[in-house]
Structure 1
Amino acid sequence: MRAISLILALCLVHSCWCWALRTPLGTALRSNAAAAAARSHAWSRGLSMVAPAGDVSERALDIKVGPLKRECLPLTTGVSMEVLSQLPSRRSDPRAKHLPPLLFIHGSYHGAWCWAEHWMPFLAGKGYETYSISLRGTSGTPAPAAAEGEPPVKSVKASEHVADLRAFMDAALPGRRPLLVAHSFGGLIVMQLLAALPDPRAALSGAAVFCSVPPSGNGPMAGRFLRERPIAAIKILVGFVLKLATQWQWLARDLFFDRALPQEDLSRYMKHFKADSQIGLDLKDLSPVLPSKSADADGRAPWLALAPPIMVAGAEKDYIVDERGVMDTAEFMGTQPEMIPLAPHDVMLGPQYVLGVSRLLSWLESQEFSRTAPAAPAR
């Protein structure tokens, strides 16, 4: 009880401090200091700070795409996987035939729904077929019931997620070489998948991970937070371990979003968080098979020689994954990290969604498949 009381007291103190900083003077001081510190720190560590994308949000509002569709696809792994899809409205567009389908993979507390809010319709309007799946153990893809006499399923292994992902690609996108777009814990699953595939480049057109859990897992990052950001460490602990981010709105906002997110959206997202966090990840099973365990002497993945194009990006205002974590992921995956300015952890949700999706689109358009595709017809 003393530990819980201390945690609650520290969170209360921090909340009061945050309230003080939200006064006009406090907001100005915090904004200026944070921006200067972020620019200085990013420059010193070699991170690329990507500039915001101008009028992309206005152009996105006028995009016409096909309807969002939902289905439950039975897989050979024993689950019935929830799949959301949104395709270009012009199926005859010659450009779409040359572009790989985009397959979105969510992180903890989330499901396929989080990509359908903004990123899927935006990118479908750019000619990409978009698909988002709900991982095993979420409300959209329940874990299979335990066998008779066995205890109820309370956790899912990372290897099960990888097996489900491979089964989905074989069933829904055979021979299509999808490009994976992952967030948070989904990034770790992508690393595990790349290690499991005999020839990643033959199976995938690329991979883009945003705010990913580092290849060493959350352990080293949690240690840094305890030393350097103890209040943040406590809030992350009570948010995820005690699952209070599904109950306390201020905590969910601090961890995942920013002050610009409308209250009604926060309430709606938290209902999803609660539904999609009932079954957790088997951390005991994950620890000995973390991607970093197979890294070479330089900290790089052993499959890089066979890897497709890879993008690694973090968010400047991410409360959960720090810059060091982003750099560790980029180093492991053999690429240069980027930081999206002003964006919180959930880069795909809220008013700031355009900052991340516009950067993803720029990266997609720099790839060979985009450069060789026919120009999109005039609207």
Structure 2
Amino acid sequence: MSELVRVMRAWEWARPVRPVRREVLSATPELEEGRPPLLFVPGYGHGAWVYAEHWLGHAAARGFPAYAVSLRGHGGSGPAPDATLRAYAHDVVQVAAGLPRQAVLVGHGAGALVVAHALARYPARAAVLVAPVLGGWATFGAAMRRNPFGTLPAVFGGGLRLHRRQLFSRELPEADARRYTGRLGRAARRAQWRLLTGAEPEPPVGRPPVLVLGSPDDLVVPPSALTGAARRYDSAPLLFPGMGHDLMLDARWQEPIDAILDWLDKGPARDDRP
């Protein structure tokens, strides 16, 4: 009963999140093998398209139904200039609840923070935090040191700007890097500010297994942040040296998604768990 009360909060009923059109892209296996669906959540400024480039099709080819949602105000979802972190988490919970089976939530960057908050409201089968930006002043300080001109405007309500070297390795062709960065948008000011100032998520419902992965060469998320995120979930980070922040778009995109799917095949995605 306590978990039910924690998921269904009275004040959320009193002040419901405004509905919005949500873009959900998908790729499904040719043969249904009973594996849990994966719901991919992009980071701020990114849309579901970042997963449609490589990861959705690859996951489906390995037997996993794969979905990606654009948070409100991102990608093809409806506009939401005043969206909050709570509204973003609501989007994830609503889409996950509509999937045919208990889902695995996969969040990238600030989308990992959204997933962390969604886990307090949705009993996920498992979760994966990719290059997680979990917020707080430590994150803000690291961002100011690594990208002061792109970070400072966000303090005053402007957009958080990330440059090509932060997002991708040198291995990614320049034409691809320009094409991807040209599609980036921006998050709502209220949600962006909450990311900078910190928004500690509540404990997950049902204590699902959580995998944290990233690159020690990520110029957005330092190795210490990866270690700290993994410790929060009693694990160690899985590292992919030489990659940039946007692992799902970088030149060696297949390595991290295969690691995620291998992890799921070995444990959280199996139907014979006790």
1:158 alignment partner in structure 2: 85
| CA distance 1:284–1:343, change in 2 (3 Å) | closer
Match of 1:352 among 247, 252, 259: 252
Counterparts in 2 of 1:267 and 1:181: CA distance versus 1, 3 Å: same
CA distance in 2, matches of 1:280, 1:322: 24
Q: List aligned pairs for 1:242-321, cutoff 5 A.
A: 243=159, 245=161, 252-273=163-184, 276-277=185-186, 279-284=188-193, 290-291=199-200, 302-303=203-204, 306-321=206-221
Amino acid across the alignment from 2:166: L
Aligned to 2:126: 206
Give yes or no for contact 2:107–2:129 (8 Å, CA) kept in 1. Answer: yes
Tell me the CA shift for residue 278 of structure 1: 6.4
CA shift in 2, pair 1:282/1:327, >3 Å: same
Distance 2:267 2:226 in 1: 22
Determine if the alignment matches structure 1 residue 237 to structure 2 residue 151.
yes
Aligned residues of 2:28 and 2:66 also touching (Cα < 8 A): yes
CA separation of 1:138 and 1:169: change in aligned 2, threshold 3 A: same
Query: Are 2:49 and 1:113 aligned?
Result: yes
* Selected match of 1:363 from 250, 256, 263: 263
Aligned pair partner of 2:21 in 75, 80, 86: 80
Q: Give the Cα separation in 2 of the matches to 1:367 and 1:125.
A: 19
Counterpart in the other structure of 2:5: none
Q: Is the 8 A contact 1:236 1:320 kept in 2?
A: no
What is the percentage of aligned positions where both structures have the same residue? 29
DSSP-derived class of the 2:115 partner: helix
Q: Report how far residue 331 of structure 1 moved.
A: 1.6
Look up the equivalent residue of 2:93 and give its one-letter code. R
Q: How many residues align?
A: 255
2:138 aligned to which of 209, 215, 220: 220
TM-score by length of 2: 0.82
Instruction: Give the Cα separation in 1 of the matches to 2:259 and 2:221.
Output: 19
Amino acid at match of 1:210: V
Question: Which whole-Å CA distance do the structure 2 matches of 1:264 and 1:180 have between them?
Answer: 31
The structure with the largest alpha-carbon Rg is 1
Check 1:261–1:339 CA distance in 2 against 1; reply closer, same or farther (3 A cut): same
Shift in CA distance, 177/224, structure 1 to aligned 2, threshold 3 Å: same
Letter in structure 2 aligned against 1:259: R
Matches within 5 A, 1:185-196: 185-196=110-121
Query: Match for 1:266: what amino acid?
Result: A
Secondary structure of 2:251's counterpart equals coil
Distance (Å, rounded) in 2 between the aligned partners of 1:186 and 1:347: 13
Aligned partners of 2:40 and 2:107 also within 8 Å: yes
Indicate how the Cα distance of structure 1 residues 209 and 322 shifts in structure 2: closer, same or farther if over 3 A, else same.
same
- Code of the residue aligned with 2:72 in structure 1: it is R
Alignment check: 8 A CA contact 2:216 2:241 kept: yes
For the residues of structure 2 that align with 1:329 and 1:366, how far apart are their CA atoms? 22
Cα distance, 1:206 vs structure 2: 0.5
1:140 partnered with 2:76? yes
State the Cα distance separating 1:223 from its structure 2 match: 2.5
For structure 2, list consecutive stretches of 5 or more residues without a partner in the other structure: 1-16
Shift of 1:314: 1.8
The TM-score, its normalising length taken from structure 1, stands at: 0.61
Offset, 1:364: 1.4
In 2, Cα distance between equivalents of 1:207 and 1:157: 22
Which residue identity is paired with 1:165? V
Q: Tell me which amino acid in the other structure corresponds to 1:180.
A: L
Q: In the aligned structure 2, how far is the partner of 1:303 from the partner of 1:244?
A: 28
CA distance in 2, matches of 1:190, 1:209: 8
Q: Which amino acid aligns with 1:85?
A: S
Does the alignment pair 1:128 with 2:42? Answer: no
Q: Cα RMSD (Å) of the superposition?
A: 2.7
Alpha-carbon distance between aligned partners in 2 of 1:291 and 1:350, rounded to the nearest angstrom: 29
Higher helix share: 1
- State the AA in 1 paired with 2:53: E
Gaps of 5+ in 1: 1-75, 145-152, 246-250, 295-301, 374-379
Q: Go from structure 1 to structure 2 and tell me whether the alpha carbon gap of 1:288 and 1:130 turns closer, same or farther (over 3 Å shift).
A: same
Q: Which amino acid aligns with 2:43?
A: G
Amino acid at match of 1:258: S
For the pair 1:184 / 2:126, whether they are aligned, the reply is no
Matched residue type, 1:336: A
Distance 2:50 2:114 in 1: 17
The 8 Å contact of residues 137 and 280 in structure 1, kept in 2 or not, is answered as no
* CA deviation vs aligned residue, 1:243-286 (integer Å, no higher than 9, x gap): 484xxxxx62111011121122122212211xx22644434556
Q: Which residue is equivalent to 2:229?
A: 329
Deviations 1:340-370 (A, max 9, x none): 2222100000211122112112211211533
8 A contact 2:23–2:70 mirrored in 1:
yes
